[in-house]
A and B are shown apart, each in its own frame.
Chain A
């Protein structure tokens, strides 16, 4: 158990809908990352937050947004969902802003039908 908690574990929703994925980082970790794992794209970095502020951005679509709250948990919002958004979404956390080991949660499976 990495200490990173993600909810929900599984989610099925229809095209055009909006969902929110939630992540609680390990105790004391200030950085939160979101990754997407899909069959065609592999594992891709989406976005990183550090202590409430956006720190780095990867291949995140404009339909997606994220935030990190004062209690350091993070949410990834996915809107206007398309079939191609079906994927496993990982949250990860790290102690500092850089230079430490990144620990991953077990992921949230999103299926768009």
Chain B
């Protein structure tokens, strides 16, 4: 069965410092992995996705994630946090051959302090 574990429910950083949001996955197959962001009172926006091409995936707003099969991880990073990055971030897994069903992690709330 497929699942994702987001290792931190809350992450706090200062503006201008790096962001690291951790995600581990479990999958019987070669997975497709995603990061979605949810700003307050907004919908879910796709940040980036991995679908078995390059292991380092670049997304929107300066975010990137690296797929590490040996560690079953797909951590999200950003070199320098901005106040507008404050939001809830979801790591998501789906089957590689059937993306009909997305399995969401429990989410990580990112706070950015000035």
Q: Interface residues, chain A, CB within 8 Å of chain B?
A: 2, 4, 31, 33, 35, 42-45, 48, 55-56, 58, 90, 92, 94, 97-107
A104 engages B90 (CB within 8 Å) = no
Complex Cα distance A4/B44, Å?
A: 11
Tell me the B14-54 residues at the A interface (CB within 8 Å).
36, 42-46, 49
Complex Cα distance A31/B94, Å?
A: 16
A98 engages B97 (CB within 8 Å) = yes
Q: Which residues of B contact A92 (CB under 8 A)?
A: 44
A102 engages B104 (CB within 8 Å) = no
A105 engages B43 (CB within 8 Å) = yes
Complex Cα distance A58/B2, Å?
A: 14
A48 engages B100 (CB within 8 Å) = yes
Q: Interface residues, chain B, CB within 8 Å of chain A?
A: 36, 42-46, 49, 90, 97-104, 106-107
- Report the minimal beta-carbon distance from B98 to chain A, rounded to whole angstroms: 5
29 contacts between A and B (CB under 8 A): A2-B43, A31-B100, A33-B100, A42-B104, A42-B106, A43-B90, A43-B104, A43-B107, A45-B101, A45-B103, A48-B101, A55-B100, A56-B101, A58-B101, A90-B43, A90-B44, A97-B100, A98-B97, A98-B98, A98-B99, A98-B100, A99-B98, A102-B46, A102-B99, A102-B102, A104-B45, A105-B43, A106-B42, A106-B43
A101 engages B49 (CB within 8 Å) = yes
Q: Which residues of A contact B90 (CB under 8 A)?
A: 43
Complex Cα distance A55/B101, Å?
A: 10
Q: Choose among B44, B100, B106 the residue that contacts A104 (Cβ–Cβ < 8 A).
A: B44
Report if A101-B46 is in contact (Cβ < 8 Å); known contacts: A42-B106, A43-B90: yes
Q: Choose among B43, B101, B103 the residue that contacts A107 (Cβ–Cβ < 8 A).
A: B43
Q: Which residue of B lies closest to A96 (CB)?
A: B99
